[in-house]
Amino acid sequence: MNGTALPVNGPVHVRQARLLASRSARDAGLPERTVERVTLAVSELVSNLLKYATDGLLVVVPRPDGLDVIATDQGPGIEDVPGSLRDGYSTVGTLGVGLGGVRRMADAFDIYSRPGEGTTVLARWTGPAPTHLGVEVGAAVFTALGETECGDSWVAAHDDGVTTVALSDGLGHGPEAAVASAAVAAHVRANPSAPPAELIAAMDADPTARRGATVAVAQFHPDRSTLLFSAVGNSSVRLFSGDGGHEALVSTPGIVGRRQRSGRRAMPVSRPWSRHSRLVLHTDGISQRWDAEEIAALFSHDPATAAGWLLGRYGRNRDDACALVVAGGEVA
């Protein structure tokens, strides 16, 4: 799966955002009445970014069962979050529905704000048949300015009681980088219950990804309360145990694709996983200089909100970027 982000810094972006939102909602298979709600909510979110925010970003991410829209910024933040959801909070010049109206129009809504640092708002719409992955997955994606396709991508697939999530960063930018990431996703969708190291070996031998990619694969086994992990390249991956502890999961150096790793094998890692666990993954388009305590404060929120906060606050804005956050979900 993928997504796209629109930097918001001028009135012209209201129309661009509406077009992006309506097209994405239709592509996600949402009914026309829902498409109208998505478009109206996005208009309000972008208007708020223009009025109040600094470095505003609208992120639209397809999900297996619908669509996520994330508005994130580095603005002044909101002192009174509950108050901001009351009708009438939106000031003159917007459509007047305010964040409370966005919350009513969405199937799911979340907001996280830190005064002096910024705000991230999530609005989600789901189709008639929700997909259950066994874990909760949230993503936020940014395409490098000037490019029409993003080389960073993610995928989540479920089969035989096992959920596999992969993050990929096709080398460089543009269509060939996107092809490399698409090849990664295709292997996960084709065989989601295969061990992560086996999946990476298959990706490595795939001749279609000519440019190669960095890849991180995480696999969740509810029956064993276990996370299996393998990665190649420079993705940043950090596991939070839920009891205050966290650790970085190390990748094998190299590139996946056309055996560019010169025989190096991705070393598998096994860790306990529970409903309190969180896994944070992102490509090098997002700075690693975020604080573990700061991101842990987000874990009471939806994983997509956390991913949007990471992208909005730490994205480099000159490179493709993808943030992925996985929460314990239904895992015991």
Residues of the chain with CATH 3.30.565.10: 4-126
Q: What pLDDT is attached to residue 262?
A: 46
- pTM listed for this prediction: 0.91
pLDDT digits (tens, 9 = 90+) for 144-195: 887 888 999 999 999 888 999 999 999 888 888 999 999 999 999 999 999 9
pLDDT digits (tens, 9 = 90+) for 291-321: 888 888 899 999 999 999 999 999 977 789 9
Q: What pLDDT is attached to residue 93?
A: 35
Residue 95 — pLDDT band, cuts 50, 70, 90?
very low
Considering the domain 4-126 in this protein, what is its CATH number?
3.30.565.10
Q: What pLDDT is attached to residue 87?
A: 61
Q: What pLDDT is attached to residue 130?
A: 64
Share of the chain above pLDDT 70, in %: 92
Q: What pLDDT is attached to residue 258?
A: 59
Q: Does domain 136-327 have CATH number 3.60.40.10?
A: yes
Q: Got the DSSP string for 148-214? A: SS-SEEEEEEEETTEEEEEEEEESSSHHHHHHHHHHHHHHHHH-TTS-HHHHHHHHHT-TT-SS-EE
Residues of the chain with CATH 3.60.40.10: 136-327
Q: What pLDDT is attached to residue 134?
A: 82
